[in-house]
Amino acid sequence: MGKTREIKKRIKAVGNIRRITKTMQMIATAKFSAAQQRSVSSRPYTDALFELVASLAKSLTDIKHPLLTGGPAKPDAKPLLLVLTSDRGLCGPYNGSILRTGMHFVRENPANRAGFIELVGKKGAGFLKYNKIPISQHHTQFGDKPSYEKVEELAQNYIDRFTSGEVSSVHVIYMKFLSAGKQVPTVMQLLPFKADAIEKKTDKPETKSGMTVQYEFSPSAEELLGELLPSAVKAVLFQAFNDAIVSEQVARMVAMKAATDNAGKMGKRLTRVYNRARQAQITTELTEIVAGAAALG
């Protein structure tokens, strides 16, 4: 009797867990839809800005912008690394993939370990502390819905520090969202803004006649570059935040679905075990009754 009671308690506990994970899966699905909409809606603007900056950078062969070449070099300038992790867990391998990518990048670039390492999200703090990597700043102001104003403020801080020579470079490690079925941990160089990388990403094939398209800029390309480069840096960083949020929700949605399915399978397995134990108990009781009746008769 005691065994069947214990199995019934386990079945009830597994059922409660399944209801919780099913609810979390539904919440993650709703958040994923909203986050995907924000990420997809901002991507055309970012891509168009990339294309325009690429055209300007190609046309300005004799003019250098501080965001492309850096400000006045200082002997104590250090690289800066920004790592985007999540505030909450239960999202499968999401944080582990980002942090492993970050550790691989730091091992390949030892200067970054001695530089500025900034963190977004709570889940990366314990990992970096365990690996004895000091965090210069922990950003907790973004949450699940990072606003453009807050990201713009952070990007402007990086721009000011880079142009003044305090920071030699800025890299961002985040989970890039490609589709609902594929997200890739990515190391992105934010500053200096590399024109050749921009061209590879946004360069379009030549026209059928073999001639490239020529642009005429008004005002001058130099003035436009001065306005567009800071905007491009801010837009790219904001897109990285949006990709990180939607990738987190995808990972949590998948993890909670797997947990719900496993809880359902475990509940069925425990029900079969309970039925067998109950049947054995009934058989034993019937056998005892028959034996008692035979002894009396």
The hierarchical CATH code for the domain 2-20+256-288 is: 1.10.287.80
Which of 17-26, 173-182, 194-203 shows the lowest mean pLDDT across its residues? 194-203
- Hey, what CATH class is 27-254 in? alpha beta
Higher pLDDT, 226 or 236: 236
Same fold, 2-20+256-288 and 27-254: no
- Calculate mean pLDDT across residues 159-176: 92
Higher pLDDT, 113 or 62: 113
In the block, which residue shows the tokens 């008692």?
Answer: 292
Domain borders along the chain are 2-20+256-288, 27-254
Strands 137-139 and 167-179: unpaired
- Calculate mean pLDDT across residues 140-144: 87
Using one digit for the tens of pLDDT, what is the confidence trace for 121-137?
999 998 998 888 899 99
Q: Is the pLDDT of residue 209 over 60?
A: no
Confidence of residue 60 (pLDDT cuts 50, 70, 90): low
Q: Is the pLDDT of residue 213 over 70?
A: no
* Strand, coil or helix: 86: coil
Question: Rounded to a whole number, what is the largest CA-CA distance in the chain?
Answer: 115
- Calculate mean pLDDT across residues 246-259: 94
In the block, which residue shows the tokens 């603007």?
Answer: 45
Using one digit for the tens of pLDDT, what is the confidence trace for 63-121?
677 887 776 767 888 999 999 999 998 998 999 999 999 999 999 988 888 899 999 99
Which of 152-156, 179-183, 218-222 shows the lowest mean pLDDT across its residues? 218-222
Predicted model pTM: 0.83
Q: Is the pLDDT of residue 297 over 80?
A: no
Class of residue 124 by CB neighbours under 10 A (exposed 0-12, middle 13-18, buried 19+):
buried
Tokens of 215: 């642009």
Confidence of residue 228 (pLDDT cuts 50, 70, 90): confident
Q: How far is CA 24 from CA 32, 90, 229, 249, in A?
A: 12, 9, 41, 11
Higher pLDDT, 237 or 58: 237
